[in-house]
Structure 1
Amino acid sequence: MVAIVVILAVTVSVFAFGFTEKTTEAGPIVGQSSGKLVPQDGSDDGIVRITHLGGDTIQVSNMEVVVDASDACGKHGRLVNLPVPSSGNDIEDSNIEGDDIFDQRAYGFSGVPGPNAIHESEYAATDEVAFRITSSACPITQGDEITVRIVHTPTNSVVIKQTLTAS
């Protein structure tokens, strides 16, 4: 009977300590970032740019881009399974969760951001995440706000949060 209690205690403690170690892992730190949102009224329609200005480098395969456009159009979208391919469509259906507000055309078309951090293996200081929100899915006019979060998926921590106003 004592042996059974000891074995159960050891099993429970191993599980509990192993679980605790996972939840205390720190995510990367991005000390500074900037962002820009262009309203949909010109050749750069709805382009969002988030620039990593200083801090840790993040593996792009370990991040997601979460977009809250509820102020502009009541929608929320998420870019997942990064990096996206840099041939064919920039952003594919498999890269989108939630509302599809993202321009999926291959770069090179007018107003579509070319290769940037979502195409690369790392997101480091001076790099930018750039994508376009289509006017047909989510109209953005001057003064509308969106919030963009860069999430480090292994730790589920938000490393960048930018609330952008279209100007």
Structure 2
Amino acid sequence: MAGRNLYCDRRGVSPVIGVVLMLSITVLLAGTVGGVVLTASSDLNQRTPVVARSTGQFVTGPSGGCGANTVAIRHAGGDPVPADELEVTVALPDSDARIVDLPVSGTALSASNTDDPDNVVYDYCVGGVIANGGQQWSAGRAITLQLNAGGGTVEPGDTIDVRVVHAPSNSVLAAVGLTARR
């Protein structure tokens, strides 16, 4: 019988190890979910302005200011948005561009606007609230730009899509589909 006392009963070890592992997994998952929730909640404080309406105009022939192929997106109602919080995307039938680092000091785009490999936007003619140091894009004010006739000519009847994006939240404030007319 003395040998029987030396024998260790290991049947009680498996449930204890199982409980410890389950608790470890639960704590690890709770920490991961908590970290994700706390990180996401900081983004919730970013308020996105609301532009209730916007209108657009695209003129292929000569027009005031920039000349031919001029796009104007007019804020027709909603919250005012500072020009330094705006980006503009332009999608033509065969190419597209994104204009960033607004406003510009004069009427020429900054060198950082390199996301335009097809040279869609004419570099030296932006206007409205995104030019000359910028203003707020508010009701009645427009964003204007000129498409580059040499880098993606737009013919009458062609459709382009222009989006005004709130850069801090990456939300689309205005999306306008325009048809070229003469």
The alignment's TM-score, normalised by the length of structure 1, stands at: 0.78
2:57 counterpart of 1:36:
yes
User: CA offset at residue 92 of structure 1?
Assistant: 2.7
**CA distance in 1 between partners of 2:54 and 2:120 (Å):** 23
User: Which residue is equivalent to 1:101?
Assistant: 120
Q: 1:69 aligns with which of 92, 109, 114?
A: 92
Whose helix proportion is higher, 1 or 2?
2
User: CA offset at residue 127 of structure 1?
Assistant: 1.2
User: CA offset at residue 122 of structure 1?
Assistant: 2.0
**CA distance in 2 between partners of 1:162 and 1:58 (Å):** 17
Runs (5+) with no aligned partner, structure 1: 106-111
**CA distance in 2 between partners of 1:75 and 1:132 (Å):** 15
User: Which residue is equivalent to 2:108?
Assistant: 90
User: Which residue is equivalent to 2:16?
Assistant: none
Q: Which amino acid aligns with 2:142?
A: E
**Number of matched residues?**
154
**CA distance in 1 between partners of 2:28 and 2:168 (Å):** 30
Instruction: Provide the identity percentage.
Output: 26
SS at match of 1:104: strand
The alignment's TM-score, normalised by the length of structure 2, stands at: 0.73
2:133 counterpart of 1:133:
no
**CA distance in 1 between partners of 2:136 and 2:174 (Å):** 15
Runs (5+) with no aligned partner, structure 2: 1-19
Q: Deviations over 1:18-48 (max 9, x none)?
A: 2332454452110011000011x33531000
**CA distance in 2 between partners of 1:117 and 1:166 (Å):** 23
Structure of larger gyration radius: 2
